[in-house]
Amino acid sequence: MENLLLVNAPADGTVKGRIELPSSKSISNRLLIIRALSQYDFPIHELSEAEDTKALLLALESEGLTHDINAGHTGTAMRFLTAYLATRPGSFYLTGSERMKQRPIAPLVNALQHLGADISYSEKPGFPPLKIKGKKLKGGNINVEAGISSQFISSLLLIAPTLDDGLEITLGGIPVSSEYIKMTLGLMSQFGIESRWERNVISVLPGSYQPRKITVERDWSGASYFYELLLLSEKGSLFFPGLSAKSLQGDKILWEWFGHLGITTKFTHEGAFVEKTKGHPEFVSFSFLGNPDLAQAMAMAFAGSGIQGIFRGLETLPHKETDRIKALQNELGKLGYSLAAREEGLWQLRKMAWPQLPGRVTFKTYNDHRMAMACAPLSLKLGQVAIQDPEVVVKSFPNFWENLKQIGFKLIYGAR
């Protein structure tokens, strides 16, 4: 039997209410590594409850007890732990899910090996699992290909202050998800670490992370699916407590992007009030190079709204939890849309024809939390959608479905 969730939109197509967004898992995961590398413990308030963060926290807590560590589906844990464990005394076997074993890690391993790390591949060269013999690393200068994953860069930056000579990273190519690198440096600065990013070179001086109390920001990536809801709604307004324009998260660009689509955001000291105020253009162009996690919500929002456009910067999507390009192409096709490569770095989102829809459209999630959350809002246009394997949202947003219920959506679990 398929594990399905039927999502039924409010009958009047109106979206209104209060959305309690989760804490940012991206910030939480970086803070966990910073705390582990610090000489002192310090409290992290409102730590993310996402599966990704729980996996990393469990790995860090078990580091001294077991040398076999499983990162599961969590790319952040795999990349961050690779650099972290390379600096810790002991021998470690770091593995993950079958999908994780298909996600490349060679650029990070090569950089660490250049610094003197003892890391080898247990199965397929260039991919997890890894055998790591941790030791003290001196630091110095390295070159890293920056066009595959910003997490390679961030994992190196996080250990950089603990290296005797600090670290100087020369980035090869155009950095992808550069906003996440900026987030990493911003958090490190809050804990007393000096760094400099000039052109394609990032330098971090040796030093010690200074303990301080910190509260994790609300997650801007999680807000994207509710901005999508507002775009697809007849009318609506939502309040997001704690959501700030001063966030370290690059995905805060959402409020500017959706401002061009008729969705107005007003910030107060309590959070963000977001409202649908006008119509939207029929054609738009966005670059996701710095913010690839927003691509699925935007693509589905456009398809549901009849918008066509140009998407740039999708190069990293095939290397995520699933091949997100193929996943989007498959699910957009059910809505009469295509996503096709036209030239290097440019994809065209085009309306083919609105298909003769069955009684309901069933969307696959590909073991990808963002596919599930991006497809659910389409119930506002279709009346009802079915989501396969809806529990995948626990990876980043465990209370996503509960939030939908609280603003008037009806959910039926276990449907056939």
Give pLDDT tens digits for 93-105: 999 989 889 888 9
Q: What token pair was written down for 6?
A: 């039927």
Q: What is the pLDDT of residue 414?
A: 76
Strands 337-343 and 384-388: unpaired
Q: What is the pLDDT of residue 72?
A: 83
Q: How large is the average pLDDT for residues 183-187?
A: 97
Of 205, 176, 367, give the one whose Cα is nearest residue 289: 176
Burial class (CB in 10 A: 0-12, 13-18, 19+), 68: exposed
Contact between 114 and 136 (Cβ < 8 Å): no
Q: How large is the average pLDDT for residues 360-383?
A: 94
Q: pLDDT exceeding 70 applies to what percent of the chain?
A: 97
364 pLDDT band (50/70/90 cuts)? very high
Q: Which residue has the tokens 């509960």?
A: 402
Q: pLDDT exceeding 90 applies to what percent of the chain?
A: 79
Q: In the beta sheet, which residues pair with residue 384?
A: 8
Of 266, 349, 340, give the one whose Cα is nearest residue 301: 349
Q: What is the pLDDT of residue 28?
A: 97
Question: At residue 356, does pLDDT exceed 60?
Answer: no
- Domains of the chain with CATH codes: 4-21+219-415 (3.65.10.10), 25-215 (3.65.10.10)
Mean pLDDT of the chain: 92
With 0.75 as the threshold, say if the pTM is over it.
Answer: yes
Return d(Cα 46, Cα 64) in angstroms, integer: 25
- If one counts every other C-beta atom within 10 angstroms of the C-beta of residue 11, the result is 9
- If one counts every other C-beta atom within 10 angstroms of the C-beta of residue 312, the result is 13
Of 383, 92, 279, 385, give the one whose Cα is nearest residue 374: 385
Q: Half-sphere exposure of 112 toward its Cβ, with a 13 Å CA cutoff? A: 33
DSSP E strand stretches across 243-282 = 263-268, 271-276
> Alpha helix (H) ranges present in 115-248?
150-159, 178-190, 220-232
Given the residues 52, 251, 293, 368, the one annotated as active site: 293
pLDDT tens string 103-149: 889 999 999 999 999 999 999 999 999 999 999 999 999 999 887 78
Of 22, 71, 20, give the one whose Cα is nearest residue 249: 22
Q: What is the pLDDT of residue 334?
A: 92
- If one counts every other C-beta atom within 10 angstroms of the C-beta of residue 416, the result is 6
Question: At residue 1, does pLDDT exceed 50?
Answer: no
Q: What is the pLDDT of residue 87?
A: 95
Task: Choose between 92 and 343: higher pLDDT.
Answer: 92
293 included as an active-site residue:
yes
